[in-house]
Structure 1
Amino acid sequence: MNMALAGLVAGMALGFAGYFGGFGAFVLVAALGAVGFVVGRLLDGDLQAGEFFHPRSSDRDDRRR
């Protein structure tokens, strides 16, 4: 499945959730979709779990001075 088709399916799912379930259902579907995307990337090996837990760079300390 290419990215355009995946985006179409995700947009349609969010649209149906928003129309039939209201804003709360829209937010729930969007949040669960994001979690599913991250888990899928982790399982594919495109993303490492350690990338979420280490600092981005050491220049953050330089900005505080």
Structure 2
Amino acid sequence: MSTATVGLLAGMALGFAAYFGGFWAFLLVAALGAVGLVIGRILQGDLDVSDFVRPRDRR
């Protein structure tokens, strides 16, 4: 199982704990799943954080 999959499952498991809250819990599951997926991709090396945090060139 890849690191990204583990990250996705971890986010989904955390969101599932809040499942009994209704629609907002659904949104929480989706958000935590996305966060887990992104963290997993970063740890796996498929996503480079520097692409998002480098400063823009000013002219």
Residue 52 of structure 2 is aligned to residue 52 of structure 1: yes
Structure 1 residue 54, shift from structure 2 partner: 3.4
Ranges of 4+ aligned residues in structure 1 off by more than 3 Å: none
Pairing 1:3-18 to 2, within 5 Å after superposition: none
Partner residue in 2 for 1:34: 34
The unaligned stretches of length 5 or more in structure 2 are 2-8
Could you tell me which runs of 5 or more consecutive residues in structure 1 were left unpaired when the two chains were aligned.
2-8
**How many equivalent pairs are there?**
45
- RMSD over aligned CA atoms reads 3.3
* Higher CA-based Rg: 1
Residue deviations 1:17-52 (CA, integer Å, cap 9, x gap): 8x8431110000000000000000000000111111
- TM-score, length-normalised on structure 1? 0.50
Tell me the distance in 1 between the aligned counterparts of 2:41 and 2:29: 18
